[in-house]
A and B are shown apart, each in its own frame.
Chain A
Amino acid sequence: MQKFEEILTSEDLIDYFEGKTFDKIDIENKDAVDKNFPKYLESLIELKTVINKHLKTIDKKTINKSDAFFSNIIYGYLESLPRRELTDIRFWQMLSLEYLQNYIWYRWYKSDDPTKNIPLRNEDKIKILKSKDKSSLFIRFLGGSSLKSLTSRQAISRLFWPRHILKDSKLVELCFEKQDIAVAVFERQYGMHPEAAKAFIKNISIKHSALEKKNIQLEAKILNRYFATINPDYLDQNSIKKLLFI
């Protein structure tokens, strides 16, 4: 598999759609070493085909409800890659632009014209990216340098990492059921700690069945405050549950 040689910036993203090519390097993976046997390439092409196929059957208005579904698909194709590469934003940028671009446009571009959910021409993409109110699309394609850009912002890695951390696909469904839960957990440091993330996601809907945003944010802040003096890594799910929810 490959990744871009350098991290792409916002200006590079525009250049990319203007036709500029960016150098790529192989990632440190067994498949990547044997260039005569590009199994990795086949699997990414397959992933692209599978995702595009599903996009045709999902209504754009409700695509934000399909995060868990896509999360499972993407995880299935990438789970065996080394963690070192999966934390490299250059890999996610390459995957997003070269293979899964349609998904990102469909999921994150709020089109004024419902017949143009995925811009087809590069000049349209540039126009959209340059329009003032679409600046958040850059983050979805490019991510950033922070932890949260991988676990919560970049359009594809934000689907992979919660699935990787939570392990359980049912929990991933709960996590993405309400976007505020995913944001509350995976934009914070304790999102890195599987037991804390699992305990929060499993129990938040029990304590606040309506899952109001303000309550989710409040509980996340309370948990964060506990972790100023209590070590989250030491606790199991049950102890964390007791801290917050009992």
Chain B
Amino acid sequence: MTNKDIFYQYKTLENPIELYVKSLNEDLKFKGKILNLYEKDSYEKLKLYVTAKVDHPGTVLPPEFKDSFEYLDLVLLIKSTKSIYRKCIVFEKKGNIFWLDLDFFKKDWRNDVELSAALVLKKNINEKIGYASNIGTQLGWSTSYKIFFDKPEEKSGGDSMEFEWASFSGEKLHWLNKHYSKDIYALDLRGETKMPKVYLNEDMDKHLRSLLEETSKRSSAKTSSRDLMFQTIASSIFTQLLTDCLIEYKRNLSQADGAEPEVVIEDAWDSLSGWKRTLLENYSHKIFPDSRKKDALNDLKERIYEDDNKISEILKVILNITQNNLGESTNEIFTRSAELLTRREKK
């Protein structure tokens, strides 16, 4: 098993390390690989028994190394970013079984703790093409177990944008009254922290409203026209939102007074409200499609900071970015609609 985002120039394990984590507290059991400790308030201490198994460890070493575990260690990695803690413990070995005992005290941990096993090179060995040679090199991985000491925060990405039918001539949307009262849709950015809200004009033509409220999934001229309209509305709204987020991030960068680039970047980023960060995070790989997925957000933050023209380059294609990333692409929806309508005409 390898981390697919990294190209390893040396041999790694073919199969993942098998890791088993068992709670020794009677009432605390893992569900799958998750233990929600926060659900049991009474426990101050958690006792775990951890075992692991490695298939064919010798394959990661040059053939002349006979006793694998003279050169390899199997370790348990304990990581909790929110607790500012990471540690590695070498497993005890008995035959082919690796094991260790662990105690966790509730007072030491925040949010989640991740446990995983890794096979590492124990000492430097002579370089040989195709094999790792540096001490500490990771040669195999297991999947992770997680212990939640606190209820996981709900991701803000799960927030959906509200939408509401309202009169564009009414007091509520007073800024639309004078010039835009007959429009179909509007977006209220609603200040810094609240999610923006989409309004549909309740004074619109009744046929149009009926079409927009159509819930059928069957392919027809009606549903096709509805999809076309929603695609147009959605892409223009997301274009505006992304533009707004990017411009604000750029503005924050120019206002940050930290000297170090990393501090300036993170200050500018942290100054964005939660939904803006989430939106940019979700779209970062669409904005930088040539970046690795895991690097896209950092690339976005850094390149906008480093290159003053980058934001103009992005905004030049922002409409295309949204067009292609709203579930089905605009091309697909428009084409399907065109095919359906032209077929009907021919009949």
- A residues near B (Cβ < 8 Å) are 9, 11, 28, 82-84, 87-88, 110, 132-136, 138-139, 144, 146-153, 161, 165, 179-180, 183, 187, 189, 192-193, 213, 217, 228-235, 239, 243
CA A148 – CA B271 in complex, angstroms?
Answer: 14
Given A82-B107, A192-B86, A235-B136, does the pair A138, B271 have CB atoms closer than 8 Å?
A: yes
CB atoms of A133 and B257 under 8 A apart: yes
Closest chain A residue to B267, Cβ basis:
A136
Which of B6, B193, B257 has a CB less than 8 Å from the CB of A110?
Answer: B257
Q: Are B263 and A83 in contact (CB under 8 A)?
A: no
Q: List, in ascending order, chain A residues with CB within 8 A of B108's CB.
A: 82-84
CA gap between A136 and B6 in the complex, in Å: 36
Q: Is there an interface contact between B85 and A187, defined as CB atoms closer than 8 Å?
A: no
Enumerate chain A residues within 8 angstroms of B255, measured Cβ to Cβ. 132-133, 135
Least Cβ–Cβ distance between B270 and chain A, in angstroms: 5
Stretch from B20-28, B75-83, B339-347 that touches the partner: B75-83
- For A146, give its contact among B75, B252, B266 (CB under 8 Å): B266
Q: Select one of B88, B110, B137, B267 contacting A84, CB under 8 A.
A: B110
Beta-carbon contact of B258 and A229 below 8 Å: no
Q: Is the beta-carbon distance between A192 and B81 smaller than 8 angstroms?
A: yes
Contact residues, B79-103 vs A (CB, 8 A): 81-88
Chain A residues within 8 Å of B258, by CB: 136
Contact of B260 with A233 in the complex, beta carbons under 8 Å: no
Contacts of A153 in B (CB 8 A): 263, 266-267, 270
- Measured between C-beta atoms, what is the minimum distance from A137 to chain B in Å? 9
Task: Determine the chain A residues whose CB is within 8 A of the CB of B120 once the complex forms.
Answer: 231, 234
Shortest CB-to-CB span from B303 to chain A, Å, is: 16
| CB-based contact B75/A136 at 8 Å | no
Report whether A231 and B270 are in contact in the complex, using a CB–CB cutoff of 8 Å.
no
A88 pairs with B110, CB closer than 8 A: yes
- Could you tell me if B84 and A149 are in contact, using CB atoms closer than 8 angstroms? no
Contact-residue bracket for chain B: 35 or more
Q: Tell me the smallest distance from the CB of A109 to a CB of chain B, in Å.
A: 11
26 A–B contacts, CB within 8 A, in A order: A11-B192, A82-B107, A83-B108, A84-B149, A87-B84, A132-B255, A133-B257, A135-B256, A135-B267, A136-B257, A136-B258, A139-B267, A144-B270, A153-B267, A153-B270, A189-B81, A192-B81, A217-B260, A217-B262, A229-B132, A230-B137, A231-B120, A233-B75, A234-B73, A234-B135, A235-B135
Q: Look across to chain A and name the residue whose beta carbon is closest to the beta carbon of B252.
A: A135
B107-156, CB < 8 A from A: 107-110, 118, 120, 132, 134-138, 149
18 extra A-B contacts, CB within 8 A, seeds A110-B257, A233-B88: A82-B107, A82-B108, A83-B109, A87-B82, A135-B267, A138-B271, A153-B267, A180-B260, A192-B85, A192-B86, A217-B262, A230-B135, A230-B138, A233-B75, A233-B77, A233-B86, A234-B88, A243-B134
In the complex, the answer to whether A147 meets B271 with C-beta atoms within 8 Å is no
* Chain B minimum-CB-distance residue to A149: B270
What's the Cα separation between A133 and B192 when bound, in Å? 18
CA distance A195 to B120 in the complex (A): 17
Compute how far the CA of A192 lies from the CA of B192 in the bound complex, rounded to whole angstroms.
33
Residue of A nearest to B86 (CB): A192
Q: Which residue from chain B places its CB closest to the CB of A145 in the assembled complex?
A: B270
Chain A nearest CB from B27 CB (Å) reads: 21
Q: A88-B110, A231-B120 are in contact. Are A9 and B193 (CB under 8 A)?
A: yes
Task: Find out whether the CB atom of A183 lies under 8 angstroms from the CB atom of B257.
Answer: no
Q: Which residue of B lies closest to A230 (CB)?
A: B136
Nearest-neighbour CB distance to chain A for B144, whole angstroms, equals 15
Contact in complex: B110, A213 (CB < 8 Å): no
- What are the residues of chain B within 8 A of A132 when measuring CB–CB? 255
Residue from the list B107, B134, B138, B267 in contact with A83, Cβ < 8 A = B107
B227-257 interface with A by 8 A CB criterion = 252, 255-257
Query: CB-nearest residue of chain B relative to A87?
Result: B110
A217 cross-chain contacts in B, Cβ below 8 A: 260, 262
Give the Cβ gap from B112 to chain A, nearest Cβ, in Å.
12
**Given known A-B contacts A161-B84, A243-B134, A234 and B267 have beta carbons under 8 A apart:** no
Q: Are A231 and B110 in contact (CB under 8 A)?
A: no
Whether A187 contacts B266 by the Cβ 8 Å rule is: yes
If A213-B260, A229-B6 touch, does A150 touch B86 (CB 8 Å cutoff)? Answer: no
